[in-house]
Amino acid sequence: MFGKKDKDGLTKERVTALLSEVVDPVLQKNLVDAKMVKDVQVEAKRVRIQLELPTPAWEPKALLTQEIQRVVGAAAGERAVELAFGADVKPVRPIGADNLMPQVRNVILFASGKGGVGKSTVAVNVATALANMGAKVGLLDSDIYGPSIPTMMGTHERPQVTGQKLVPVAQHGLKLMSIGFIVDPSEAMTWRGPMLNGALIQFMRDVEWGDLDYLILDLPPGTGDVQLTISQNVKVAGAVLVSTPQDVAIADVTRGKAMFDKVGINTLGVVENMAYFICDGCSKKHHIFADGGASRIAKEMKVPVLGEVPLEVSTRESADAGKPEVLSHPESEASKAFFSIARRVATELAVQASKVTAKPSGLKIIQ
């Protein structure tokens, strides 16, 4: 009834009770009440705990690991405390057969008001970081006129066709699609708006994306046809605005936020790219493009700053080499920023999804 006891009296129930003392700082619930504890096994030489997180990129994961080791480890004696993590990513917006991508749980837009701020670099590295942490991720290059994903991800493979669907190109643990995989890179795209919109819808509807936790859309700069087409055809979980700190880029962030507000898309926050440069000689931060511009505008727009990415030569070199910075140099300051941004975005979406699933359905049970 009370579980199998070992010589020191440690039981599954005792370990579960200890886990109820560990509080998740984001959900403000203990692990048991948050339904994260899926299995506990007490063995002669180890205690095995299986947890299920709201996302593989759950921001407090490292903190929870440390706290569990402390609390359970104190009672486990000479036993090793072994943790195994799973994840169940929920959609922020309802998905179904009427959706262009019915198996994609969360669509995230990466946007910028103007070009040249490194939006694609941020999108590629955040997507790769999410996949590296265990999420099922797709990356769609929505910039028909200037596709950069093939170069940044190091593949120009042509997608295969199965039935009536295109099969995404697999690279670095992600599923990819870009017009750059289909059209000769030297060919200039001279399509008018309707053709562009049609191609974008095909890349969403006619691609076998399969079961994905996140599909990241790398949007072209501005607030034009592509942004409107997506807002009208896709249930978007949220948008990330990318900017440099300088005033000319910040002004366009404001317009980007206004556009998303008009079409009912939630802005998750702002990423300040090329925020500073650390000199090899003096090891000081140099704010080449001004200081704190994204922080100021984020405060005015009442959205968070998701992260500040430093300007590093290796980030550019990694993009040119076709291997994202988070894989090429995972310990660089830029990579640390990308991983942090990925965790913040995924955690925020998980919190939003938990609020949606927690809402009562409105159905009455007749007894």
For 63-107, what is each residue's pLDDT tens digit? 999 999 999 999 999 999 999 999 999 999 887 666 788 899 999
Contact 87, 61 (CB under 8 A): no
Contact 225, 145 (CB under 8 A): no
Going by the DSSP 8-state scheme, the letter that residue 196 receives in this structure is H
Beta strands in the chain (DSSP E): 23-24, 29-30, 37-42, 46-53, 80-87, 104-111, 137-141, 161-162, 165-166, 169-171, 174-177, 212-218, 236-243, 267-272, 277-278, 285-286, 305-308
Query: Which tokens hold the place of 297?
Result: 């505008």
Looking at the chain, which residues constitute the CATH 3.40.50.300 domain(s)? 104-347
Q: Provide, rounded to the nearest whole percent, the portion of the chain with pLDDT above 90.
A: 61
Per mean pLDDT, which range of 84-88, 157-161, 187-191, 244-248 is the poorest? 187-191
Looking at the chain, which residues constitute the CATH 3.30.300.130 domain(s)? 12-87
In 3D space, the residue among 302, 320, 287 whose CA is nearest the CA of residue 120 turns out to be 320
pTM value > 0.75: yes
Q: Which CATH number fits domain 12-87: 3.30.300.130, 3.40.640.10, 3.40.630.190, 3.40.50.620?
A: 3.30.300.130
Per mean pLDDT, which range of 111-115, 146-150, 304-308 is the poorest? 111-115
- Which residue would you say has higher pLDDT here, 3 or 27? 27
Average pLDDT along the chain: 87
Per mean pLDDT, which range of 24-38, 145-159, 235-249 is the poorest? 235-249
Confidence of residue 7 (pLDDT cuts 50, 70, 90): low
Mean pLDDT of 132-146: 92
CATH topology of domain 104-347: Rossmann fold (3.40.50)
Whole-number pLDDT of residue 362: 40
Question: 282 exposed, middle or buried (CB, 10 Å; 0-12, 13-18, 19+)?
Answer: exposed
- Whether the per-residue pLDDT at 363 is higher than 50: the answer is no
Mean pLDDT of 337-363: 83
Contact 214, 346 (CB under 8 A): yes
Q: Over the Cα atoms of the chain, what is R_g?
A: 23
